Amino acid sequence: MKEIFAHRALYKGLENTIEGIKHFKNLGVGVELDLRYGDNGIYMSHDPQNNAELFETVCKLYSNSKIKMALHIKEIKVINETVKLLKKYSISNCFLFNTEMTNFSEMIDGYEIAKYVNKKPIDVKEKKIWCDETKNKWYNKKDILDMHQKNKIMYAMSYEVVNEKYTENEMFLEWKRLIELGFDVICTKYPEKLIEFEKRGDLD
């Protein structure tokens, strides 16, 4: 079974909430979270806002946890404080990334950085590669295999994450495609459905 991440810990129609994060932690599913900097510290939200839940609350929940976190850095100034929180609560099973192509080191004080790409990866130094097709359709088996031969771990954003209009059948077809292409991890809005999809073996 492929490793699964819950996109923005979406749960009951809400993103980046403690309730959703608790749910997916109990389910054993990784979470992708958006991090921003506010007056009260690091908070979780895709867009800037004044009333959002704090990342430190998540760190308390995940202290010494084996469940993984992908931390989407929405503002570069959150990095230092984020690393401090991760260390304070002994969280190691996570990595950071951002989609603005901002350059920062492969490791930040012991924490791994993933490379974001929306086209064929070339000369990627980072071990983890966070992929989407927001610009064009570029996924193919040859490139995925080439990355695996270079010991890269490939993360794919599923169709429904980057497209507002989709049918359930289109989503199932996308999961089938990502699995057959050989991605290691799938990030989706619907982890429970993907788990059931894999259990059914709907790949024919």
Tell me if 107 is assigned to some domain: yes
- Write out the residue range of the structural domain in which residue 126 sits: 3-199
Q: What residues of the chain score a pLDDT lower than 70?
A: 1, 101, 202-204
Token representation of residue 106? 């492969």
The DSSP letter of residue 76 is G
Identity of the residue numbered 53: E
Decide if 15 is inside a domain: yes
Residue 90 in any domain: the answer is yes
Domain total of the chain: 1
CATH code at 8? 3.20.20.190
Gap between the Cα atoms of 62 and 97, Å rounded: 19
The pTM (predicted TM-score) of the whole model is 0.94
Three-state DSSP at 70 gives: strand
Residues in the chain: 204
* Domain assignment of residue 164, yes or no: yes
What would the pLDDT profile of 33-91 be if each residue is shown by its tens digit?
999 999 999 999 999 998 899 999 999 999 989 999 999 999 988 999 999 999 999 99
Instruction: Please check whether residue 26 lies inside any domain of the structure.
Output: yes
Q: Domain for residue 204, yes or no?
A: no
Flag whether 121 is in a domain.
Answer: yes
- Would you say residue 49 lies in a domain? yes
DSSP secondary structure string for all residues of 103-131: ---SEETTEEEPEEESS---S--SSEEEE
